[in-house]
Amino acid sequence: MKSFYKLSNQIRDYAWGDSHYIPDFLGVENPEGKPFAEMWMGAHPQAPSHIDEMGSLNLSDFISAHEIDTLGPDISRDYGRLPYLFKLLAAGESLSIQAHPSKKMAEDGFKREDNAGIPRDAPERNYRDDNHKPEIIMAITEFTAMIGFRKPADILSSFSEFREIGKLKDLLRRVENAVKIDPSDALRDFFEGILSLDEQTTHKLLDSACDISCDVRSCWDILQRKWVSHLASSFPGDIGALAPLFLHVAVLQPGEALYQPARTLHAYLDGFGLELMANSDNVLRGGLTKKHIDIPELMKVLKFESSIPGILRPEGYDSSGIRYFKTPTREFSLGLADFNKDKSLSLPSKSGPKIILNLEGKLLLKDGVSQLKLHRGESAFIPWKAESIIISGSGRVAFAGVNR
């Protein structure tokens, strides 16, 4: 088995994608202006990478045929597949407000929908596989996201401007009473209530929000005003446009990251980033989308806790010279390394399975027998049974691997 295999990766052109980030990064033309939303690197059955030198052979089939050699005995035993999915993500418009299930919830939901005879590619399907989907997003450009509920008191303060609008008055009163007993119940009552407002109240609320977002005297901060106005115009009639009033808005600078645990409400708003997650495509949506929304199922999945976004930066260096973002999830680990003409990096044998992506510059991989050049946007798979590899060149490379 070779030590590295160059990959060809599939592009997903979802409606929220951007027409230039990924084409510019890969150096390819996009004359039709397609919304290049994601590039998947990995072995997910919906869009597996292909191994260049093996023609039509995809990475999923290659791993299945050589499971121990590619994954190693431990990962083969624990997962039986590549446990992570690596992506480029380019948000030209907001992604849906969403959350991902825990492992047990995913297993139960997948079995339930299979038993109900719902096709796995059906638009109304919630669970497309049996896995959970914690994830980390690292900014390549400035990147804006919403993640985690604000404190109930802060939410009530933001919505105080609307206290006299329709049925919202009763909802806010219920939430105020619930806060005194259990903040978790208060968040649950608020979120379920705001998603269940009648159409007339919703339209009045959104119209008022657009007026308020233009008023610099409002109690809302500048990010709340900016994003409420933008989302309301991009998603007319969608109550999710008010999410900046109940979720935290975080702005990442290039090289910074956010970790999203399972059951956490979030949405990516704009920018270009690198995403790494457990190998799953399970999404429960709550708004800002034309795709399937299942509010009762989303309510079952969500964890109703207030949290403050923790912006991550890579810490320290391992023995190879790679800096890693610390996350608690075993299925994946995201690392970065910078190169110049005076610096190389040595990956010891049996350190895979890894996928490496060249973020900038030119890289050369050598194992004593063969070599592989990677330009910006090019990627390679390193199996567990790889020999020791020397990586040299100039620029920056990202490493996706398993958190050991």
**Known catalytic membership, residue 120:** no
| Residues facing 271 on adjacent strands | 91
Residues in the chain: 404
What are the C-alpha distances in Å from 63 to residues 69, 82, 174, 234, 403? 8, 8, 54, 42, 19
Task: Please compute, for residue 281, the number of CA atoms within 13 A of its CA located in the half-sphere on the CB side.
Answer: 17
Q: Could you tell me which residues come within 8 angstroms of residue 116 by beta carbon, excluding any fewer than 6 positions away? A: none
Active-site position among 77, 128, 285, 313? 285
What are the C-alpha distances in Å from 11 to residues 38, 48, 122, 173, 300? 6, 10, 20, 47, 32
Which residues participate in catalysis according to the annotation?
Answer: 285
